Amino acid sequence: MQATLGGSHVDMDAREEGLPGKARFSAQQPRVGRWLSPFFLTCAVYFLLWSPENQPSWVGALVKCLPILYLVVFLWTVYPGGSYSLLLQGALLCSAVGDSCLVWPEAFLHGMAAFAVAHLLYLWAFGLAPLKPGLLLPILLASIPYYGLLLWHLPPDMVLPLTAYSLVLAVMLWRGLARGGSTCWGALLFTLSDAVLAWNIFVHPLPHAHLVVMATYYAAQILIALSAFQSPRLKSN
């Protein structure tokens, strides 16, 4: 079986060989794992080179973006076909733009806009089935108190942009949870990363905030990227 397989191909090959879709997906994990080694290497390089004393630079922005850009290359090479993979690649490219903008504090709004577009592309990819409206209640119960506290500390010019971004993020989280699989965990970690980042910037500096933000962010992106290799049966579970 080729490495460029989507969910339908996984199920087809599984039926041909008498294996369940889950078993075929598991059989591909070692091959996919070898492709992901550069992602973990570029993450390690970023954490080793980053320092709070670093001045914003294009070199620093490139190092920060390398893990995300590699995920684009990974999906394009290993799983080039299908609208789902293409939407993930577009979201990752927008995320890389957002990462670059956030290196410079004065470009924060531009970075937030780039990430909002990334979330919209993720929403497009995740779709509305299964709907699972019951997931909205716990999301609202967690989001409303947090953003209520956050809004008290925002500059006036940040209230509307951050409120709009928060709504897009919450909907992305809903659809990621509804989709299940690695998408669920990726959406949760992405939301956690953004929540820690916003609190650290606007409310109160947190110890090791940068490490927590970037570690959860990189983990979120790879988990969402890996959802391209799950069969429809796994996604529904």
**pLDDT classification of 29: cutoffs 50, 70, 90:** low
For the chain, give the mean pLDDT: 87
Q: pLDDT tens digit string along 217-226?
A: 999 999 999 9
Statement: residue 3 has pLDDT above 50? no
Q: Is 207 inside any structural domain?
A: yes
**pLDDT attached to residue 230:** 82
Domain annotation covers residue 9: no
pLDDT value of position 214: 98
Which 3 state secondary structure label does DSSP give 113?
helix
Q: Is residue 183 part of a domain?
A: yes
The pTM of this model reads: 0.86
Query: pLDDT tens-digit profile of 106-125?
Result: 999 999 999 999 999 999 99
In a domain, 116, yes or no: yes
Please name the residues in contact with 52: beta carbons below 8 A apart, sequence gap of 6 or more: 210
- Domain containing residue 223: 31-228
The answer on pLDDT for 19 being more than 80 is no
In a domain, 7, yes or no: no
Domain annotation covers residue 147:
yes
The dihedral of CA 164, 153, 95, 173: what is its sign? negative
Residue 15 within a domain: no
Q: What are phi and psi of 18, to 5 degrees?
A: 75, 25
Our CA angle for 34, 49, 199, nearest 5°, is 95
Residue 80 has pLDDT above 50, yes or no: yes
Q: Is 229 a residue whose pLDDT tops 60? A: yes
SS3 content of the chain, % helix, strand, coil (to 5): 80, 0, 20
- Which pLDDT value is given to residue 208? 95
Number of domains in the chain: 1
**pLDDT tens digits for 52-79?**
889 999 999 999 999 999 999 999 998 8
**Predicted pLDDT of residue 30:** 56
The DSSP-derived string for 115-174 is: HHHHHHHHHHHH-SSS--GGGHHHHHHHHHHHHHHHHTTS-HHHHHHHHHHHHHHHHHHH
> Is it the case that residue 231 has pLDDT exceeding 90?
no
In a domain, 237, yes or no: no
Q: What percent of the chain has pLDDT over 90?
A: 78
